[in-house]
Structures are given as structure tokens and as C-alpha cells.
């Protein structure tokens, strides 16, 4: 049922840091916490036996970031308080008035390190009403409502625009102090669902981060415009008020790198050694913790070797050098191994707030398979190796995409550290090693297995595209690496040496090639570093293999070659050579004058451009082998299906108005004419070996 006061007229906001403000039920008031420790009081008249939801949140450009809410009875007794029961770090509580009279709402800030706890706040007070069984209209911004019975469900209809991204937050008063198994009266363990106009469930979230945050939140990209339904409920038997907040986000104005930028950190203080920026690494001896809690176990030679191997990945990007030192006073990074049940690993950034702790790192040998068997988790591509890459990311000024560490943004659509992949699924290790969603969660074969056989392969073996781009921007360097002709081979076995790699390559004629008989998908698109499907790059991989390549921003890989499987090869903006191998392959050149080779099997060649000078050479098209040409119907203005005989003509020009595809068999040139025998000029879209046979039955419009 709906128990909300939607569209209530709010009281004009009053801003004061002296005296007592007043708010009417169904309205709102705002104020300012002007200094650390400041509190503002708001008076409200409540009626005995009635239930109310009270919200305190930050407002505007100078918003209070972490609110703290108290409600006092008419006699001045504090009857309840709340810190983070609202959305994010805002406050929300449901109360039933014991007596009629004037209550006090006290607004303040929760005390956090390095946060003055000042800013503008807003209080809303809403009263539970009789409700309705019909869906209510909602709009962008805040809506307050109530789940009145233990089986109640509220629904709201809202219009979303195609291609727009929306964040939806739902809080029911429970925060980190709440016991999810025994919630007090008035607090909700919320569940949030979104349905499209056809009633299909398109998004769902139960807990942001169970058990610490049992509120709900999700990011939603509307693939179709129309009326959607937001459904709100809680676990059986729970009643109380809630705050629903829906916001529209223009993803074109946002940069995903802002989510991994530890803004308050300085750069690593490299020192010049023979013209090379150099940082020093100190490995703590047993018992040496640099003032950190817990034991220190020391390091063996293999562990030290693998740490330095991980730092080689930073050397490739930054053009710097890392050296081991035995002088702790010379060290840039001070590392120790330990045992703990509290954490996996950590490293302090070069952030002044950490003082003398900057550059200290602890690695827990009980976590991530560090000490398993022969310590093979530390091999490049192993789970523990990826942990080292991650921690040194912090040391170089990178942040988690799921939190606000160091003043970073939260990656768009991410609502928690685990399983929340965000918009376009960009919160994955294959796009940033700073993610807690390791490797490639969306691999068609499933996530990398954390098993005895999988602990040394299938994880991140290098920095990822977002990490590389952020480091390049932060340190202002584009370091020349792999300047010759390089072949990047996709391993066809899940074994040591198979892992996810982002290619940073600055020269030569390069190729990504498949091996074995598995189906390959090779895409030469480089990371675009934005909120899009290509923002973190596109994974090239073999079916059933936990490993593959993405391509860093600005890197050009010219060629791709399949092998024995049914492969998909996709080019980029330059002239590519795409060779399919022996299977039934799908080959698409994209921009540029590309050479497409099927090389056996029934291959499909996709054409998708009408730009002059952007044609492809289909070097070995064969009717006998069952090859086919597909045309993009949106590009060429054709209806999907087989190309009709009336649309195809042999010769050098269109003969009738409905002729579209023109093939000059003598010269092996294929043209497209948008108006047939009309005045428009035909456009060359492909070339073949002269004399190659073609008919309308060789074409399919998709």
C-alpha cells in the first residue's frame, strides 16, 4: 500500500544557526551547521498516537556530508537518535508520538577525521496516512512513505528517458548500529525493485553491503523510454517510514577516472638517480611493523621477487625505477607481512593525513592464498599478485571505485564494494585493479575460480585501462613501451601464465592472435575512458579461458588473427588485417580500409559504413565455402532479411530506382547507391579479387 505524502507543500526554508526553527508536518526546513560541534534545533508539533518519519540530510553545494539526528520529547528527553539510517550518510527515523506537544528535532554532524562537519542541512517531517493500494506517481528527488503493515508493498510510477542513467536510493532507518536479525520497531531492511512498462523486472537490490548497510540502492540505465514502476518492500513483519531518492545523471559530463583518483594524496616522491625517477622499497624484517598493529613475519626471496615483478607493471607506465633498499630511512615504501582475521592487505597513500604512515603496507599471508601450497598465488596472474597490484595502486594515488577514499567519487551506478558492477559493468578488475570485483566477473564462462587450480591464473596480471589512464594523467607521462612489432597471444589453457592484461604499446605493427581450436573474440577497440561500453576497453578472449587482453587508451593494435574456432574479429579506426582461420568466422572491419580474410569455413563479412574512402577488401570471399556478406540495415536503409533480387544489380551503375547494391564483377568492386537510378552518387563499400562471383543470395541485412 502507498502511505506517502507526495507533492506536499514544503515550508519556505529558513536558514539560522541561532534560536529554534519550526517545521510543519508535511513540510521542510533547512539550516546551516556553521562550525565543528554546532547544533541546530527545529520545533515540530506532533499528535499522540500518530506515526511520523523524520529525515535529515545535506543540501546544496555546501551540503552537510554526514548528518546526525536526535529527537527530543516535549520534556526535553532524547527519545531516539540516528546517524546513517537515511540514504548514504544521512539520517532517517520513524517515531510514534507518545504525547501531544512540541518536539525538538536536533540537527548536527557526525564527527569524522578531516571533516569539519559543517554545511547546509534539510529536515523533512511526514505523517503516516491511510495509504492506497494503487501505484502513486513519483518524480525525481525525494519521496517519503510508510510500510504500514508487515506485508505491505508500495509502488510508484515514474517516467524514464531512453539512454538516461538514474540512481535510485531507498533507506528505512537502519544503519551500522542496527542488528539485521532483530531490527527495532520502525526500522526497515528494505528491498528495491524496478519494472519496465511490460512488467519485466529490470533491476533489483536488497542490501547495499550486508550486514553493515541493509539499505537499498541501484543504478539504472534506461534502454527504452517510458513508464517504469519502482516497488518498495521490506522483510516480513517490518513496518516504518522510508526515504526514496531518484536522481537523473548525465553520464556524458562525468569521468570514470574521478572514481579512482585519491585526490588528497600526493604523487610518489621519486628521486632522480642517474636521470631516472627512482623509488625505494624496504622489506620489513620479522618483528618490524613500523608502528602498525599485529605481528611481522618477514619476507622470503620469492615473495620479494614477486613484489618487484608487480612494480615492473608500474615501471612500464610511468618510466620509473623501483629498487630494494636495506635502509628504512631511505625507503619510499615500507612493507611487512602479517597474519590477521581483520583484513587482507592495505597500503597508506602519500596522503598528508596519514603522516608518518605514508607508504606503509601490510600483506596478510592468511588471505588471498598467499601461503597456499608453493605460494603460486603470487605468480603473475595469480590472486595474490593482483592484490599487490591493487595495494600499490593506493601507494601511487589510486582509490577504490566503490567509496570516497581520498575525496574520490563513487563510480556511477556502484552501490557497494562487492557484486555491484555499476553502469556498463565497469567496476571490475579487468577495467581497474582497484575494484573489489576481481578479474572479469562477466566472462561468459563465469568469474575466475578461486580454487587450488585457479589460484595462480585467471586474475589481473597487469594494471588495467582505467588505472593506466589515471596514472598517466596524475604523473603527466606517456612512457614509450613495446615500440616494435609485437604479437599478443591468447593462451588456450587455464594454467599459470594465463591472466588478464591491458596492452600498453606505443609503436610497431602489432597483432592479437588466437591459439588452439577454441572460439575467439578479438576486438581491437581501445579503451575510451568514459562511461560507455568501451570505457575500460573491450576484452579479447577465448571461450572458456579466464584471461585475455584489453587495450589501453591511445594504443593502436593493427591486426587480429583467429585460429581453429568460430571466431569474431572486430577492427578499429585504422587499416586492419583481420584473418579468421579455419572456423566459421564473423569479421568486421569498422573504420579504415581493412583487409578481411576468412581463410576457410563459412565466414560472415560485415559491412557497416557509407563513408567515402572507408571500404574493405574481402580477400578470399568464396560462395563455395558458404561465405556471406551482412549489411547493417540502419546504415544502408534496408529492411532486415535476405537481400531481394530487385535490390542487387551486376554492372557499374544502378538501372532502376530500387537498385541499391551494385557489383562490378570485372573489377571486383561493390558499391551502394542510396537512391538507385537517382541523382545520388554510388559509394564504394568493398573490393574483391576481380572475377569473384556474387549474387543477391550472398547478402543478409541485419
- pLDDT tens for residues 610-625? 998 899 999 999 999 9
- Of 566, 610, 561, 572, the residue nearest 594 (C-alpha): 572
Q: How many CA atoms lie within 13 A of 539 on its CB side?
A: 25
pLDDT of residue 585: 98
Distance from C-alpha of 488 to C-alpha of 502, rounded to nearest angstrom: 11
pLDDT of residue 659: 96
Quickly name the fold that domain 20-127 has: Jelly Rolls (2.60.120)
Bridging pattern class, strands 360-364 and 345-347: antiparallel
Per-residue cell: 623 = 560462395
The per-residue b/e assignment along 478-516, b for 16 or more CB within 10 angstroms, e otherwise, is eeebbeeebebebbbebeeebbbbbbbbeeeebbbbbbe
Residue 499's alpha-carbon distances to 97, 460, 493, 558, in angstroms, are 60, 6, 11, 22
The CATH code of the domain at 271-425 is 3.40.390.10
Residue 245 and residue 156 in contact, taking contact as beta carbons nearer than 8 Å: no
Per-residue cell: 474 = 596524475
pLDDT of residue 133: 63
pLDDT of residue 625: 96
The CATH classification of domain 136-257, taken from the options 2.40.110.10, 2.60.120.380, 3.10.20.30, 3.90.226.10: 2.60.120.380
- Of 448, 306, 458, 307, the residue nearest 382 (C-alpha): 458
Per-residue cell: 220 = 539504472
Query: Please, which residues have CB within 8 angstroms of residue 614's CB and are 6 or more apart in sequence?
Result: 591, 592, 593
Distance from C-alpha of 14 to C-alpha of 172, rounded to nearest angstrom: 27
pLDDT of residue 102: 98
Please give the average pLDDT of every successive group of 10 residues along the chain, which has 702 residues.
32 46 96 94 97 96 95 97 94 97 96 83 92 76 94 95 92 92 94 96 90 89 93 96 94 95 98 98 98 97 99 99 98 99 97 97 98 98 99 99 93 91 96 99 98 98 99 98 98 98 98 98 99 98 99 99 98 97 96 95 96 94 97 96 97 95 98 93 97 97 97
- Helix (H) / strand (E) element for 470: namely helix 465-475
Please state, as a whole number, how many other Cβ atoms lie within 10 Å of the Cβ of residue 135: 16
Equal fold, 20-127 vs 271-425: no
Domains of the chain, by residue range, sit at 20-127, 136-257, 271-425, 596-702
pLDDT of residue 115: 78
Please state, as a whole number, how many other Cβ atoms lie within 10 Å of the Cβ of residue 201: 11
- 372 secondary structure, DSSP code: S
Dihedral sign from CA coordinates of 431, 595, 677, 650? negative
Distance from C-alpha of 567 to C-alpha of 676, rounded to nearest angstrom: 35
What is the four-CA torsion angle of 443, 447, 452, 457, rounded to 10 degrees? Answer: 40
Amino acid at each position: 500500500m502507498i502511505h506517502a505524502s507526495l507533492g506536499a507543500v514544503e515550508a519556505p526554508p529558513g536558514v539560522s544557526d541561532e534560536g529554534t526553527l519550526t517545521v510543519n508536518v508535511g513540510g521542510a526546513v533547512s539550516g546551516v551547521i556553521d562550525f565543528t560541534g554546532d547544533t541546530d534545533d527545529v520545533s515540530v508539533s506532533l499528535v499522540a498516537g500518530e506515526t511520523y518519519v523524520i529525515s535529515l540530510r545535506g543540501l546544496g553545494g555546501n551540503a552537510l556530508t554526514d548528518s546526525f539526528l536526535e529527537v527530543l520529547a516535549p520534556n526535553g528527553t532524547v527519545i531516539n537518535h540516528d546517524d546513517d539510517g537515511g540514504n548514504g550518510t544521512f539520517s532517517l527515523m520513524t517515531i510514534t508520538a507518545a504525547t501531544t506537544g512540541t518536539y525538538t528535532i536536533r540537527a548536527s554532524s557526525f564527527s569524522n577525521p578531516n571533516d569539519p562537519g559543517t554545511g547546509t542541512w534539510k529536515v523533512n517531517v511526514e505523517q503516516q496516512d491511510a495509504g492506497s493500494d494503487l501505484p502513486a506517481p513519483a518524480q525525481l528527488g525525494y519521496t517519503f512513505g510508510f510500510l504500514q503493515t508487515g506485508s505491505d508493498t508500495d509502488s510508484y510510477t515514474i517516467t524514464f528517458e531512453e539512454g538516461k542513467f538514474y540512481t535510485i536510493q531507498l533507506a528505512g532507518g537502519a544503519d551500522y548500529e542496527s542488528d539485521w536479525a532483530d531490527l527495532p520497531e520502525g526500522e526497515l531492511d528494505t528491498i528495491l525493485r524496478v519494472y519496465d512498462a511490460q512488467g519485466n523486472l529490470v533491476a533489483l537490490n536488497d542490501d547495499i553491503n550486508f550486514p553493515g548497510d541493509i539499505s537499498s540502492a541501484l543504478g539504472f540505465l534506461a534502454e527504452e523510454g517510458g513508464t517504469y514502476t519502482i516497488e518498495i518492500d521490506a522483510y516480513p513483519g517490518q513496518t516504518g517510514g522510508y526515504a526514496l531518492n531518484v536522481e537523473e545523471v548525465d553520464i556524458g559530463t562525468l569521468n570514470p577516472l574521478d572514481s579512482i583518483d585519491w585526490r588528497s594524496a600526493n604523487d610518489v616522491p621519486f628521486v632522480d638517480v642517474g636521470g631516472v625517477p627512482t623509488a625505494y622499497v624496504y622489506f620489513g624484517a620479522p618483528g618490524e611493523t613500523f608502528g602498525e598493529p599485529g605481528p611481522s613475519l618477514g619476507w622470503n626471496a620469492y615473495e620479494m621477487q614477486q613484489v618487484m615483478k608487480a612494480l615492473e607493471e608500474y615501471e612500464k607506465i610511468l618510466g620509473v625505477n623501483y629498487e630494494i633498499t636495506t635502509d628504512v630511512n631511505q625507503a619510499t615504501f615500507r612493507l611487512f607481512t602479517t597474519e590477521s582475521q581483520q583484513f587482507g592487505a592495505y597500503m597508506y597513500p602519500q596522503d598528508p593525513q596519514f603522516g608518518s604512515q605514508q607508504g606503509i603496507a601490510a600483506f596478510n599471508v592468511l588471505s588471498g592464498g598467499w601461503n597456499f601450497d608453493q605460494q603460486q598465488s603470487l605468480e603473475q596472474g595469480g590472486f595474490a599478485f593482483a592484490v599487490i597490484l591493487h595495494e600499490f595502486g593506493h601507494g601511487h594515488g589510486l582509490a577504490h571505485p566503490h567509496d570516497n577514499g581520498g575525496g574520490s567519487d563513487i563510480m556511477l551506478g556502484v552501490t557497494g564494494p562487492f557484486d555491484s558492477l555499476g553502469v556498463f559493468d565497469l567496476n571490475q578488475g579487468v577495467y581497474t585493479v582497484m575494484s573489489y570485483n576481481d578479474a572479469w566477473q562477466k566472462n561468459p564462462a563465469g568469474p575466475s575460480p578461486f580454487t587450488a587450480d585457479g589460484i595462480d591464473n585467471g586474475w589481473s596480471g597487469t594494471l588495467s585501462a582505467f588505472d593506466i589512464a589515471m596514472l598517466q594523467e596524475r604523473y603527466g607521462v606517456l612512457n614509450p613501451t613495446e615500440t616494435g612489432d609485437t604479437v599478443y597471444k591468447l593462451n588456450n589453457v587455464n594454467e599459470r601464465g594465463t591472466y588478464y592484461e591491458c596492452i600498453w604499446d606505443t609503436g610497431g605493427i602489432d597483432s592479437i592472435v588466437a591459439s588452439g581450436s577454441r572460439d575467439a573474440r578479438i576486438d581491437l577497440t581501445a579503451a575510451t575512458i568514459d562511461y560507455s561500453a568501451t570505457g575500460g576497453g573491450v576484452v579479447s578472449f577465448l571461450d572458456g579461458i579466464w584471461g585475455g587482453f584489453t587495450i589501453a587508451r591511445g594504443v593502436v593494435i593493427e591486426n587480429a588473427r583467429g585460429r581453429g574456432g568460430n571466431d569474431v574479429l572486430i577492427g578499429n579506426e585504422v587499416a586492419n588485417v583481420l584473418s579468421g582461420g579455419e572456423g566459421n568466422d564473423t569479421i568486421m572491419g569498422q573504420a579504415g580500409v581493412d583487409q578481411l580474410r576468412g581463410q576457410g569455413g563459412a565466414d560472415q563479412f560485415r559491412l557497416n559504413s557509407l563513408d567515402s574512402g572507408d571500404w574493405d577488401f574481402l580477400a578470399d570471399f568464396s560462395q563455395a565455402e558458404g561465405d556471406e556478406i551482412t549489411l547493417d540495415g540502419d546504415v544502408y536503409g534496408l529492411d532486415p532479411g535476405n537481400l531481394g533480387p530487385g535490390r542487387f544489380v551486376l554492372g557499374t551503375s544502378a538501372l532502376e530506382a530500387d537498385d541499391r547494391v551494385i557489383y562490378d564483377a570485372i573489377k571486383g568492386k561493390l558499391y551502394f547507391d542510396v537512391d538507385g537510378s537517382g541523382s545520388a552518387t554510388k559509394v564504394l563499400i568493398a573490393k574483391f579479387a576481380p572475377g569473384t562471383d556474387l549474387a543477391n543470395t550472398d547478402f543478409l541485412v541485419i
